[in-house]
Structure 1
């Protein structure tokens, strides 16, 4: 990153002192990410990219470097795990990939199938890493804006705090693209057990599932509603996928979220588990829309519009601001002031909306990193600035349970 550009510093943010940043070159930071030290404590930021950090798209590498620049000198280690043969960051060096209590057979045998196999492999490493080591798991497409270290120290890491989990509150559920806890968290332990059971249900050959297709119909998820929405999808062959089918597709795609929702809404007296009470008292959830999707709120989930606005150059000194520049500036300032992060959307969502800011940054390599643009202003801030205040949690009200009884016992 070019640290000599004079971008406007919005109110509510401050420049991070250089002694608290890793100011080395991108190449040197990449070397550190590719050669992390052994795990010695809970302050780990976990990412996963199946083929390894070196093969990641350039814009997601920039995301990871920003996490490292801001957090490494505060004691955090940024780790991008993979399944690349011979890699020191191979997941098998951190977890037993042959243990059926840790991973389903499809992960062990590398037989996960379907259009989103890579995403589902990523889903399966999140709970095991947090349960064994603690820290935070984040998608590689998540830009961090707010002060994660201070929030961690004031919540999960503070024995006086009631909070044991950090995430985003997504309509009363948790956004799996960012989750943080100490090891052996009771919510994530049950979520992991349920997710493994969903994958272990027999398929046609009796060997367990190899994809998430149809998983949302499992009796193990009895009581969990399908994902909401009134979207339709036009397939490449012209077929229209109607809203009911799309909701089913989304629920299968985000099956980890469905498992989390069940555990959050479960009361199992024999196990001593009251999900609604635990979530209301122990989970610090930042509002997902305000906290991680604000660009999409401004642009109505129009990825092309977001891309065009972020690609604009800021007005030069003495130039009047155009209407489009005003909108782009308002988006960047709002994100930097009000959002804890920004999740670049990929996967199934692209079939719903056609394109997203993330998919277009991937398609137009380097477009997110052009000095003098609004995209670069946002990037610059995620490297060198921090928010003065912590985000407020969006309360989880204590709700009626989705289900009562044992976790794997159905109704």
Structure 2
């Protein structure tokens, strides 16, 4: 079987054809109709991403990289390029930045009143300026224009329409917002903010942002101490049950961890949400949350001369096919400083490994190929968030709990 474009997934046509004809299509997957894809090559899509595009509907994908497209690590560029390729003309991907004079600067899309002084004046500091800038940007974009926010470090394995958008658009559906959840305390789920979907004008989105903005008021320049803010201090610290997720000790104080993920806690203050899809931690659990192990599996050769289908090959095959067939996204995070032993995102960021996410004949290249060309056959079944019986606050959105 041949495909109509030679650079759709960063692989030459011969390699793409070989992958499918030699190994077939894994269970739970089918080929995407190539006519639904954006068939431009990487350079063409990359140039397109650096330009602003009209907003003609709610079918927008929003992403942000503080320093702009040209300063993104290559593996992150390829993530966003593949969103464009996979989603085709049905969706418009907008990659925004905070580069002075940039045509895609977020200030061209969202008024400064939506952001704190530290963001507007460029005085944010600390180790997480980029991630926390993204936390401030995502909700106003969804409020004003609608669509889906996706963190740039995310592989997309399924059509957004199938993940959640059909339900959100359906007037007979009860679902108005979608995302992924993770157990952030034993028995307590919290919505992650790396994937958020909602139509424009969603009141929950606006209130969520209002709470997060309140944390940054009063000249604050970084997230230190957010867990103890009057709007959040009644909430226990985030403390994921690491044993349940086959995760080693996070290696960081829970206060620091909670500050880093304060946007999650702002959601928890409001939480009234249905999550339409499984989370993306399955693959992390398989590899004991080790970026080094994930790197080892993905750099292994899948095809070619001398390949032996040993235990490592089998583990890599399972890792990749499970990702493609059983998860909607795979978010690669750098995480708070000092957490865990290694992060795949850090390894791929390094000069030494900048092309390892897409090397021909490796499992990483196959993962990239499959994220564009394979469609899942499993049905998406909405699930309701769950948490144990606990205190309910009766107060305004920005009103602290009385102590």
Question: Normalising TM by the smaller chain, what interval?
Answer: 0.7 to 0.9
User: Within the alignment, does 1:355 sit opposite 2:345 as a pair?
Assistant: no
Aligned residue runs from structure 1 range 28-67, under 5 A: 28-67=44-83
**Corresponding residue for 1:294?**
282
After TM superposition, the structure 1 = structure 2 runs for residues 100-249 of structure 1, keeping only pairs within 5 Å, are: 102-171=114-183, 172-200=189-217, 202=218, 208-229=219-240, 246-249=253-256
Matched position secondary structure for 2:334: coil
Q: In structure 2, what is the equivalent of residue 76 of structure 1?
A: 91
From the superposition, tell whether residues 248 and 153 of structure 1 become closer, same or farther in structure 2 (CA, over 3 Å). closer
Aligned to 1:404: 394
2:87·2:159 contact (CA, 8 Å) conserved in 1?
Answer: no
Separation (CA, whole Å) in 2 of partners of 1:133 and 1:409: 28
CA deviation after TM superposition for structure 1 residue 324, in Å: 0.4
Query: For the structure 1 residues 323 and 22, does the alpha-carbon distance in structure 2 shift closer, same or farther, using more than 3 Å as the test?
Result: same
> Is the 8 Å Cα contact of residues 226 and 248 (structure 1) preserved in structure 2?
yes
Question: Which of the residues 59, 84, 90 maps onto 2:105?
Answer: 90
Contact 1:303/1:357 (8 A) holds in 2: yes
Deviations 1:299-357 (A, max 9, x none): 10121111111110015479641110011001111111111110112131x52113211
Q: Secondary structure at the match of 1:226?
A: coil
Query: Within 1, Cα distance between the matches of 2:366 and 2:307?
Result: 18
Counterpart for residue 3 of structure 2: none
**Structure 1: runs of 5 or more not aligned:** 203-207, 232-241, 265-277
When the two chains are superposed, the root-mean-square deviation of aligned CA atoms in Å is 2.0
Quote the Cα distance in structure 2 between the aligned partners of 1:91 and 1:173. Answer: 27
Residue of structure 2 aligned with 1:341, choices 311, 329, 334: 329
2-side partners of 1:169 and 1:229: how far apart?
Answer: 12
**Residue 381, structure 1, aligned to residue 370, structure 2:** yes
Out of 275, 284, 300, which is 1:284 matched to?
A: 275
1:343-381 C-alpha deviation (Å, 9 max, x unpaired): 112131x52113211211122110011111111110111
**TM-score, structure 1 normalization:** 0.85
1:72 and 1:78 in contact (8 A); partners too: no
Relative to 1, partners in 2 of residues 1:222 and 1:31: Cα closer, same or farther, differing over 3 Å?
A: same
Report the Cα distance in structure 1 between the residues aligned to 2:363 and 2:250, rounded to whole angstroms: 35
Give the aligned partner of residue 314 of structure 1. Answer: 302
Alignment correspondent of 1:367: 356
- CA shift in 2, pair 1:47/1:244, >3 Å: closer
Whole-Å Cα distance in 1 between the matches of residues 307 and 68 of structure 2?
A: 44
- How many residue pairs get aligned? The number is 371
CA distance in 2, matches of 1:65, 1:244: 34
Output the CA distance in 2 between the equivalents of 1:296 and 1:192: 29
Q: Is the CA contact 1:223–1:402 (under 8 Å) kept in the aligned structure 2? A: no
State which drifts further: 57-66 or 220-229: 220-229
TM-score where L is the length of structure 2:
0.87
| Preserved contact between residue 358 and residue 368 of structure 2 (Cα < 8 Å) | yes
The Cα of 1:150 is off from its aligned counterpart by 2.8
1:152 Cα deviation after fit: 3.8
CA distance in 1, matches of 2:306, 2:30: 25
Do the aligned partners of residues 356 and 227 (structure 1) sit closer, same or farther apart at CA in structure 2, a change above 3 Å counting?
Answer: same
Residue 314 of structure 2: aligned partner? 326
Aligned partners of 1:229 and 1:247 also within 8 Å: no
Alignment of 1:243-282 (within 5 A): 246-264=253-271, 278-279=272-273
Q: Distance in 2 between matches of 1:256 and 1:54?
A: 27
Structure 2 stretches lacking a partner, 5+ long? 1-9, 184-188, 243-248
Displacement after TM superposition at 1:72 (Å)? 2.8
Is contact 1:46-1:135 (8 Å) kept? yes
